[in-house]
Amino acid sequence: MSLKRKILELQKKREKVLQGGGEKAIEKQVAMGKMTARERIITLLDENSFHEYDLFVEHEARDFNMDKKILHGDGVIIGTGTIFGAPICIYAQDFTVAGGSLGLMHARKITKIMDHAMKMRVPIIGINDSGGARIQEGVNSLAGYGEIFYRNTTASGVIPQISVILGPCAGGAVYSPALTDFVFVVDKISKMFITGPEVIKTVLGEEISMEDLGGARVHSEITGNAHFYAESEIECFDKIKELITYIPWNNGQKARQFEPKDPKEEFKIDEIVPGNPKEPYDVRDVIRGITDASEFFEVQELWAKNMVIGFGRINGETVGFVCNQPLMLAGVLDVDSSDKAARFIRYCDAFNIPIVTLVDLPGYLPGVDQEHAGVIRHGAKVLYAYSEATVPKITVILRKAYGGGYIAMNSRHLNADFVFAWPGAEIAVMGPEGAANIIFRKEIMNAKDPEKMRKQKVKEYKQKFANPYVAAAKGYVDSVIEPKETRKLLLHAIDVSKNKVDRKPIKKHGIPPF
């Protein structure tokens, strides 16, 4: 056979495999409002950057007549490409081939590209669209999942790992996304659960739809399993691309430096926060008054809204923001918001992203449900994450910082590098009302007019303690600054911390409260 013919043969073979599960299966996929696996990869990556590996891999299953079945690519596409020039390893499960079910060779392809990503120290993106384990392959299929989980864990904190749920992802399969850094979901397309509606109905007699059990909104608003919610696959890919611009390729590097830009003029940082500490405002407006071009890329926007986390840039450099949100539950810390903040702090620390903490909170959320849900151990995660972090840690106390909440939000005492406070900051053991009621209980009780006395004592307490100067006098706050100086000083703080060294004792790992 001449080389020409051999080339022709290769082209034919390729063409065949590139059909995936065939026309009918592709029609079905389109009817479900989904793109095909290959379309997804091509849309997400830079044009013409995708190179596919293992196109000709075939499964080795023999039982249940599997030896007679040809599954193109064994239901998964793997390869490398770029996003805005950043190298990326990627895999996408192909639902048109045997429902994207995971057999041994399917898993081998995924672990191969994961190993590749680890060796090359580049981010890995996994697009999940699979009916689950390939039952015909039995325990081999389970082995495949386990080998993926092991690699997810090993790669955690070394290379960015991104999961995109674009179809069903059920049973054991959900644990790969759960082990990765960021999970993207799309309305009406993503479905994630451990046990599906049918099992729940048989065992518990409860009827629920897939959407209500584990749809995109559920995981974005209720469970906190997802980090980014999109209305369409295209919007989802745009968000992934944007995320890639904010993070480094691996834990040995910094995120890409962009051209510095000033915040937009409409975000007037000295006009956003009301003077009365009991009045709400949107802390995201303060963030936008600080960041380059007033851009803020929010993470877990729809879950635990009393805490705002996300990425922005200051002078072209990526920083992670961790902020109380007075707009929601007055910005209290609770089980979910602690969990949300702690994980993000650890992410930033792992990937050399300085953390900027904006503080304005009355303390922890009171309630039996909170105590019984373990707010002690969840709240401890925030203390742990901040104390453990060695990246530059900068705090700006915007207004209230009361009690345990003050300590938790990257205080000097947890080894913050810079603590700034605005002139309206109130750093105190608790709010004036509560404090006055306790300290002056006797005076109030014995007064002729207790209510008048109470008001007077609250006023006294406010004047004496509800300010930043008591903490500044002890050096707990480095500087009391004007709001409009904030960006300049954050920039300065980041510059000063360029060569920060903070070595912790050598250990295998700590025992964080999770």
Partner 1 sequence: MVAKSKANNKTKNESPKENEGSKVRFNTFVVDGDKYRTQLTEKFKNRKKWENPDERKIYSDIPGTVIKIYVQEGQKVKEGDLMMVLEAMKMKNKILFTSDGVVKKIYVKESEKIPKGKLIMELK
Q: How far is the CB of 114 from partner 1 (least distance, A)?
A: 26
Q: How far is the CB of 222 from partner 1 (least distance, A)?
A: 8
Q: Which residues contact 199 (CB under 8 A, 6 or more apart)?
A: none
Q: How far is the CB of 443 from partner 1 (least distance, A)?
A: 16
Maximum separation of any 2 CA atoms in the chain, in Å: 110
Alpha-carbon distance 402 to 293, whole Å? 32
Residue 111 CB coordination number (10 Å): 16
Q: How far is the CB of 374 from partner 1 (least distance, A)?
A: 15
* Nearest Cα residue to 254 out of 6, 5, 494: 494
Between 95 and 351, name the residue whose CB sits nearer to partner 1: 351
Residues found near partner 1 in the complex (CB under 8 A): 84-85, 203-206, 221-222, 238, 241-242, 245, 256-259, 264, 266-268, 272, 278-282, 285, 288-289, 293-297, 304-306, 316, 326-332, 336, 362-363, 365-369, 402-403, 430-434, 437
Six-digit token string for 73? 């690519």
Between 205 and 505, name the residue whose CB sits nearer to partner 1: 205
Q: How far is the CB of 205 from partner 1 (least distance, A)?
A: 4
Between 36 and 338, name the residue whose CB sits nearer to partner 1: 338
* Nearest Cα residue to 283 out of 257, 306, 265: 306
Angle subtended at Cα 340 by Cα 334 and Cα 343, rounded to the nearest 5 degrees: 130
Alpha-carbon distance 252 to 443, whole Å? 60
Between 384 and 402, name the residue whose CB sits nearer to partner 1: 402
Six-digit token string for 326? 């007075």
Alpha-carbon distance 218 to 249, whole Å? 30
Give the helix ranges, DSSP H, for 173-253.
175-179, 197-204, 210-214, 216-217, 233-246
Six-digit token string for 486? 């904030």
DSSP letter at 221 equals I
Q: How far is the CB of 336 from partner 1 (least distance, A)?
A: 7
Between 288 and 346, name the residue whose CB sits nearer to partner 1: 288
Residue 116 CB-half CA count within 13 A: 20
Between 74 and 285, name the residue whose CB sits nearer to partner 1: 285
Q: How far is the CB of 294 from partner 1 (least distance, A)?
A: 6
Q: How far is the CB of 257 from partner 1 (least distance, A)?
A: 6
Between 112 and 264, name the residue whose CB sits nearer to partner 1: 264
Alpha-carbon distance 491 to 312, whole Å? 13
Q: How far is the CB of 503 from partner 1 (least distance, A)?
A: 28
* Nearest Cα residue to 25 out of 37, 14, 7: 37
* Nearest Cα residue to 487 out of 268, 322, 273, 274: 268
Between 21 and 362, name the residue whose CB sits nearer to partner 1: 362
- Residue 258: alpha-carbon gap to chain centroid: 22
Between 252 and 316, name the residue whose CB sits nearer to partner 1: 316
Between 109 and 288, name the residue whose CB sits nearer to partner 1: 288
Q: How far is the CB of 213 from partner 1 (least distance, A)?
A: 16
Q: For residues 469-478, b (16+ Cβ closer than 10 Å) or e, as one string? A: eebbeeebbb
Q: Which residues contact 488 (CB under 8 A, 6 or more apart)?
A: none
- Are 352 and 478 in contact by the 8 Å Cβ rule? The answer is no
- Residue 305: strand, helix, or coil: coil
